[in-house]
Structures are given as structure tokens and as C-alpha cells.
Structure 1
Amino acid sequence: MQYVNAECEKRYFSFKETKQKVEELKDYTDKIMFLTKEKFDYEQASIDFINPKLPDYSNQCQKEIDQIQHLNRLTNEFSVEQMNKNKNGMPFNKLKINCNINQLVDIFYQLHRELFTDGKPIIDGNINDFVAVIVNSFVDKDGRELSPETVKTMLTPSKTDKRPKPHKRIDIDKML
């Protein structure tokens, strides 16, 4: 009787027992569903006895629901943050390019399409990988994100008009 919050004709409500049952449950959804059902059962029951020494059963259920949800949100946020840190190996900030975007993209184009070592491109990969590397690694001179569509267009072999004019082109071949 010491840990019974309330009693009705059909059952008693003990938050201590309820919390033990919640701790046995593994799944987040099962915990929330169980606590919600308990709270509604209590609120709909015709209570005969309320223990004045213990907090309200419904309030305790709600506080437990709030705590589980809050901890789940934090866990998810931290998991995403950790995943992002670990996915890249090392955390880094995007590099700012102070030239035209098409000049930078053209450097990658040259290393992939025009310059070869033993018959293979100096940097080998598909266009989507190049777009991802460029977009995820650089921002323009104003700090704005680069458009994946624009970068992809510049890397397309038939779009020579989107790459820099010969006098503005950075010739990588001379540097190798």
C-alpha cells in the first residue's frame, strides 16, 4: 500500500511498478505507448482512494513520457552529430575559392578528362562523385554554397561554353 498512488474498483495504480515495467521494455515506442495507456486508464477510472503522500499518478506518467521523449531527441541529435563527424574522418570547414567557380571545376575536369597517367585519368571517378567532392568541399568567394546542378553542367564534356575561356583557364598540364 506504501507505493500505491491510487486505487479503483478494478485495479490499483502504482507508479513504482509502472516505472519498473517501463525499464524492462527495450523499444522507445513501446515505452511511450505503455505509459500513455496507463495515464489514460488512470484518468478514465473511477478512483476510490488516492494516496496523499505520493504524487499524482497521471502527472508522473506524463513526466516520464516527457523525459523519455527528451532523451530520445537528444540521443538522435548526438547520433547524427557523431555520424557526421565520423563519416568524414576528420571534421573540416569548406574551403573558400577566390576564383571563378568554373575555373575550379575546370581543374577537376582536366584531372578527370584531359590528363592521364598510364592511360588512366589522374583522378578517376564518376561525375556524381566529382560533384559531391566539389560541392561538399568548397564555397564561392562570398561564402555561398555551390550548386550541384551548376557543377555537374560544367563537368559535362559537351558544355565547353560553361568552362573558362582559354585565356582564363588554369592550365594544370603546365604544373605537372
Structure 2
Amino acid sequence: MYPSRVKVEDFSDKRDVDDRLTPYNWLFIQTAVVCKDGRDLTVNIPRRCMHCAHPPCAELCPWGAVAAFPDGAVRIDDSICLGGAKCPTVCPWHIPQRQTGVGLYLELAPSFAGNGVMYKCDHCQARMAAGEKPACIEACPNGVQSIGPRSMIVAGLLRRLGRGKA
């Protein structure tokens, strides 16, 4: 790697890792034990991209590889991403993950191996284009995952909390 301070992040032979975010695993469930009313309670927290309304990753990317789309998704264009890894630094949840040794950098300066490409959830763009649900929604055992305009998501949440129209 060049410069030598750049960390090699290669998950190509660890695609089945599911206890953390990787370039190939865009969602994992973090489990925490909290104390509520004197009782221990296990809480499952999905760790994934929140597709921010004003994504700092898109505002920071010097290459324009990250963009917010009208459907609410914030996507990284892997055909122009140079893997600079600034996006997880500004992401409130440190979501984007880098795969070293792939992408455009190899065409531009192959002797330097390249910083790779940043990856994160893209709202299952290919599945949605085929008329399918995103994988996280399809796999959710409790049916609490949803996708859609922010106003719809907030309205649904308010209904569940008993603060909105039924």
C-alpha cells in the first residue's frame, strides 16, 4: 500500500463475517443488555446505514462517488470511488467499509495497489429494480423494518407509539 500508513482492509476471504459491518455485510444486529426498572433487558440494535436526509459522506466525498437519490437512498458509486475512507469518519455511525485492492485506483496507479472502494447499504438497488423488497425487510422476523419516504416512516412510527392517526 502507498502510502505505507494506509491500512489494508481485505475482506475478500471473510465474506461470511456477520458480527460486524464489512464491505460485504451491510447490516448486523448488535446486542446489548440494558437495565430497565431494575431488570436486565436484551436489546437488539440493527447497525446499518441510516440514509441521512443530509448525508455528511456525500457532502465530503471529493470524487462525487457518494450521492443522495430521490428515493431516499444514499449510494456509493463503486465505479468512481477511490476508497479514501473519509466517509466513515464523518458518518455518525461509521458505516461505510473499505475493500482494499479493487476499483478504479487499480487502473489509475496499479503499482500502488490502491486504497480500494468504500461499500455500504444501497437500499438493495438491484433487488428494488427487480420489484423485490430489500433483503433486510424480507429477512426481518418481526416485520418492523420498512422503506419509503421519510414522512411515511415517521408517520408509521408515530402510529406505533400511539401518537398519530390510526
| TM-score of the pair, normalised by structure 2 | 0.23
Q: Which has the higher helix share?
A: 1
| TM-score of the pair, normalised by structure 1 | 0.22
Q: Which has the larger radius of gyration?
A: 1
Q: Which has the higher strand share?
A: 2
